[in-house]
Amino acid sequence: MATALSFRKALTAPPTVRTLTSGVPSAPLLNLAARSPAGHGHEHGHGAVGPRSDSPAKFAGGLSVSSSGLVSRSYVNAQTTGIHQHRLLHTSAVVKDAPQVPNFEPYQAKSQDNNRALSYFMIGSLGVLSASVAKSTVTEFLATMAASADVLALAKVEVELASIPEGKNVIIKWRGKPVFIRHRTQSEIEEARTYDWKSLRDPEADESRTKKPEWLVMLGVCTHLGCVPIGEAGDYGGWFCPCHGSHYDISGRIRKGPAPLNLEVPQYDFSEGDEKLVIG
Amino acid sequence: MSLANTFYNTLVKRNSVYVTSIFAGAFAFGVGFDVGITNIWDSWNKGKQWKDIRHKYVQE
């Protein structure tokens, strides 16, 4: 549309011009190289500078002024170019000759063996260093998960055993949990050891629950829902949990009630000639 | 046989030996580094640590 419009504008001649005998209006002073005015219809930023972009390229034809008026030509076949070039493609191998290669002899290794050993030594050293780094990375990372020193200092509790008379319970606090220590009498030991423990809900021998038969050390947390059982109570002369009625015997084994497991035995040891009990 | 060839033939030639010696070297390096740094620390802080002044306070 814009092209047609431009052409029409370009061809619009004043009404006073002559007309040739062929009927074509004579306009000898028409400037066919005129630039189109800025803002003539399509504002794309082009067309304002340079030759008109809507006029066909020279090789495609175009308008020209001749003695008989305006002539419009359009070439159907493109003209051949007059310049011929050889195609420089070929498949044969290039023969290269380099007579000016410098002498690299001074730069070459004196001994291949030394070179190889040095390379492997450097590789091995890097391996040693990176293995050390990896090892310490892993260990340091795992060390962050370990308990800190102040926690570890609280993790052990010492109890004077001489202060606990026979047949008495002592409750101490260890890592925030109560620990039952019972100095059992001889008859209690016999009762705990002679019972047929294989028929219990959580079968466990009294021998495996105590290091010394007269000292019973257990965590005072009911295995049902975590209440603290009451000592010297219940149907079996041991412990009784008031929350849901679990009965533990004199070895801390569950005998009756909802609890699934025996009272837990913590890690403990006797020290200083059985004078002290160290829990933890 | 030169030192380089001895090194190559004993440690590097078999990859299993090479890798094993690298790990062994890493272990030895770790121990040696630890001991060395501890010695440097102790000599730098001589007279300031509890083990240096313990005899002044604890009589056994």
Ordered by where they begin, the domains of chain B are: 3-57 (1.20.5.260)
Residue A76 resides in a domain: no
Domain count, chain A: 2
Q: Tens digit of pLDDT for each residue in A17-56?
A: 677 777 777 766 666 666 655 555 555 555 455 555 666 6
| Separation of alpha carbons A251 and A263, rounded Å | 9
| Same structural domain, A115 and A217 | no
A173 CB contacts (<8 Å, ≥6 apart)?
A: A157, A179
Residues in chain A: 280
Output A64 or B42, whichever has higher pLDDT: B42
- Domain final residue, candidates A146, A170, A190: A146
Residue A177 resides in a domain: yes
Residue A265 resides in a domain: yes
A121 φ, ψ (degrees, to nearest 5): -65, -45
CATH number at residue A161: 2.102.10.10
Q: Tens digit of pLDDT for each residue in A101-147?
A: 888 888 888 888 889 999 999 999 999 999 999 999 999 999 998 88
pLDDT over 60 (residue A16): no
Range of the domain at A255: 157-279
| Same structural domain, A228 and A133 | no
Do A128 and B7 lie within an 8 Å CB cutoff?
A: no
Q: Which two tokens stand for residue A97?
A: 């000759």
A278 CB contacts (<8 Å, ≥6 apart)?
A: A156, A157, A158, A159, A268, A269, A270, A271
Q: What pTM does this model have?
A: 0.42
User: Count of CB atoms within 10 A of residue A29's CB?
Assistant: 8
Spell out which residues of chain A touch residue B21, defining contact as CB-CB under 8 Å. 124
Do A117 and B21 lie within an 8 Å CB cutoff?
A: no
